[in-house]
Amino acid sequence: MDPVSPRQTDILRKARQVGRVEVDDLALQFDVTPQTIRKDLNEICDAGLLQRVHGGAVYPSGAINYAYDARRSLAAEEKRRIGERAAALIPDNSSVILNIGTTTEQVAFALRDREGLMVITNNINVANILRESASTEVIIAGGLVRRSDGGIVGEATVDFIRQFKVDYAVIGASAIDEDGTILDYDYREVRVAQEIISHARRTILVADHMKFDRNAPVRIGHLSEIDVLVTDGEVPESVREICSAHGVAIALPPLDPSAANDQS
């Protein structure tokens, strides 16, 4: 599926907020025909972002994640900007762990032209993005490869991560709760993410604004355990207060790429 249109993005946002959207209500809201809304919903549901029901669509259960290709298309431009902002926090000649996720992949894209990096990853996609970078050493974890997204998980992966102590870890998440809990769907992936956090001198969490509206069942950790939150939009007040209380910087991609400054 092509990246969602602005109207489809608004439909997704409303579905996250209220759980269900109706064709007739959306047609009135956006001043378009019901046929146009049905087409929007069919495209969104074909991508796995919503579930079609009679008369509308519903937001998926918090126990089930979106399909990986669908996640790539969701907030794609925001993730690209987050990736560039996070990469700007990582100096040349550093060691970095990048974990599984569509946003961490964007960090990898932004690191391709950097000098002297050692990148450890349990994400086949990240390894492929960086493997031809002339000045980057790429080390990939062993373990079970998930067919759905190329992520490498399991106890072998956890044992592999334990061998390292890196300068930076870049992790993604599926949801951030208002109490600061960082959440994901697969407990095997969470075990690896927890190990990554404990073996990094500084941890950068990359998360687009949609993660503040979502929920997931497995706890990775808490915002107090990270050093920088890189996101793309309005940060809920509860999250800002938690970050302030624990010295966590909030970094936003600038509107002008030439003026990158942390905001906290």
pLDDT of residue 264: 41
Structure confidence at residue 234 as a pLDDT band (50, 70, 90)? confident
Q: Among 8, 170, 171, which residue's Cα sits nearest to residue 75?
A: 8
Radius of gyration of the CA atoms of the chain, in A: 19
Q: What is the overall mean pLDDT for the chain?
A: 88
- Cα separation of 216 and 65, whole Å? 8
- Cα separation of 163 and 170, whole Å? 17
Segment 108-167, tens digit of pLDDT:
999 999 999 999 999 999 999 999 898 999 999 999 998 878 899 999 999 999 999 999
Higher pLDDT, 182 or 134: 182
Q: Among 74, 113, 20, 50, which residue's Cα sits nearest to residue 207?
A: 74
Q: Which residue has the tokens 């990898």?
A: 108
3-state secondary structure of 170: strand
* % residues pLDDT > 90 (the chain): 65
pLDDT of residue 210: 83
Query: Which domains does the chain show, CATH number per domain?
Result: 6-60 (1.10.10.10), 71-251 (3.40.50.1360)
Q: In the predicted model, what is the mean pLDDT of residues 79-98?
A: 97
Q: Among 89, 87, 116, 92, which residue's Cα sits nearest to residue 103?
A: 87
Beta bridge partners of 119: 96, 138
Torsion angle, alpha carbons of 219, 225, 230, 235, to 10: 70
CA 199: distance to chain centroid?
20
Whether the Cβ atoms of residue 156 and residue 136 lie closer than 8 Å to each other: no
pLDDT of residue 257: 46
Segment 184-213, tens digit of pLDDT:
988 889 999 999 999 999 999 999 988 898
Q: In the predicted model, what is the mean pLDDT of residues 250-259?
A: 70
pLDDT of residue 233: 82
Structure confidence at residue 259 as a pLDDT band (50, 70, 90)? very low
Q: Name the burial class of residue 259, with classes exposed (0-12), middle (13-18) and buried (19+) by CB atoms within 10 angstroms of its CB.
A: exposed
pTM (2 d.p.): 0.74
